[in-house]
């Protein structure tokens, strides 16, 4: 018995010495490893084209559906409703797209892909941030197709090409930051289906209880109070200011501040939860 205890203690001390001797990963190496993981995720997208179905079809369907259903009731006609609607659809589409990040992460963990990363001397954040970098392509496609559909339906953004590009860029940055929430959910949920269910419960109140589809002035007072502090409302208003007026308003600053807060909270939580599985 004493021999077994002594042997176990020697194994623990040996493991501690190996861990202490392990070289720390530099920031430059972390960036390179993150890009390598992003390339892996990008190749996975190319081999599974169905991953682009939602970002290709959802903007087209939602833009047409919401425009023709709500346009006449809210502004009197579809064309007048488009300047209000298109930035809202962009925000909703990008945020819905980033929800898939956590689901795909959980699927990879269930398949044992992340078990192979245990033996690699890589930064722990690289397997998490890499797929999120690759998803920037999906956000770009979703936002671009939404504006393209709006143009086909008669939308003429007063902010010009520069304002539209700025609105798309802001939506992409927001989607990337919000993806950290769903990444964290992916590391704590027990299945991909659970990740999707939890993400929907987070996402739907944020998007539909916002000013994405209706003016705040038409809402009851108690609901309008929540809508005004909803981060999605800040994103939508900032997108409208940029796309319709080429105006960099204070809403842009509030949106970026919300992005930084989300990253500061959920990126460490995601890495910490991920390490538990390693």
Using pLDDT thresholds of 50, 70 and 90, give the confidence band for residue 18. very low
Q: Which range is most confident: 15-24, 73-82, 152-161?
A: 152-161
Compute the mean pLDDT over every residue in the chain, rounded to the nearest whole number: 83
Q: Where residue 16 falls among pLDDT bands split at 50, 70, 90?
A: very low
Q: What is the pLDDT of residue 10?
A: 53
User: What does the block give as tokens for 260?
Assistant: 């930084």
- C-beta neighbour count of 21 within 10 angstroms: 7
Per-residue model confidence (pLDDT) at position 21: 46
Q: Provide the pLDDT confidence category of residue 238 given band limits of 50, 70 and 90.
A: very high
Assess whether pLDDT exceeds 50 at residue 20: no
* Cβ count near 141 (within 10 Å): 17
Q: Kindly tell me the number of DSSP H helices and DSSP E strands found in the chain.
A: 12, 0
Task: Determine what percent of the chain is predicted with pLDDT higher than 70.
Answer: 89
Tokens 């002035």 sit at which residue?
217
134, pLDDT greater than 90: no
Residue 90 corresponds to which tokens in the numbers above?
């962009």
**Mean pLDDT in residue range 164-182:** 93
Short-list 215, 242, 209, 239, CA closest to 227:
209
How many Cα atoms occupy the beta-carbon half-sphere of 41 within 13 Å?
27
Question: What H or E segment, with its residue span, contains residue 200?
Answer: helix 192-208
Q: Is the pLDDT of residue 93 over 80?
A: yes
Region 24-32: what's the mean pLDDT?
A: 79
pLDDT greater than 60 at residue 23: no
Q: Cα(183)–Cα(101) distance, rounded to whole angstroms? A: 6
Q: Residue 186 — pLDDT band, cuts 50, 70, 90?
A: confident
Q: Are 213 and 132 in contact (CB under 8 A)?
A: no
CA 32, CA 52: separation in Å to the nearest integer? 26
Of 159, 180, 190, the C-alpha closest to 252 is 159
């Amino acid at each position: 018995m004493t021999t077994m205890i002594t042997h176990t203690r020697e194994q623990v001390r040996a493991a501690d010495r190996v861990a202490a001797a392990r070289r720390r990963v530099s920031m430059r190496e972390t960036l390179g490893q993150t890009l390598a993981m992003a390339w892996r995720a990008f190749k996975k997208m190319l081999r599974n084209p169905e991953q682009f179905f939602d970002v290709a079809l959802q903007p087209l369907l939602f833009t047409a559906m919401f425009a023709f259903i709500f346009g006449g009731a809210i502004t009197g006609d579809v064309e007048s409703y488009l300047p209000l609607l298109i930035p809202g659809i962009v925000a909703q589409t990008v945020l819905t797209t980033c929800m898939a990040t956590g689901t795909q992460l959980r699927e990879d963990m269930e398949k044992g892909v992340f078990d192979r990363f245990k033996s690699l001397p890589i930064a722990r954040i690289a397997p998490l941030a890499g797929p999120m970098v690759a998803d920037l392509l999906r956000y770009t496609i979703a936002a671009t197709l939404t504006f393209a559909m709006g143009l086909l339906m008669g939308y003429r953004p007063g902010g010009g090409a520069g304002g539209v590009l700025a609105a798309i860029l802001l939506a992409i940055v927001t989607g990337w930051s919000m993806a950290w929430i769903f990444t964290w959910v992916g590391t704590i949920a027990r299945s991909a289906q659970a990740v999707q269910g939890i993400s929907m419960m987070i996402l739907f109140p944020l998007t539909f209880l916002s000013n994405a589809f209706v003016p705040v002035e038409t809402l009851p007072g108690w609901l309008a109070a929540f809508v005004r502090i909803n981060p999605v409302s800040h994103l939508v208003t900032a997108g409208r200011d940029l796309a319709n007026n080429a105006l960099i308003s204070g809403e842009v600053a509030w949106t970026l501040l919300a992005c930084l807060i989300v990253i500061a909270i959920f990126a460490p939580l995601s890495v910490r939860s991920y390490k538990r599985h390693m």
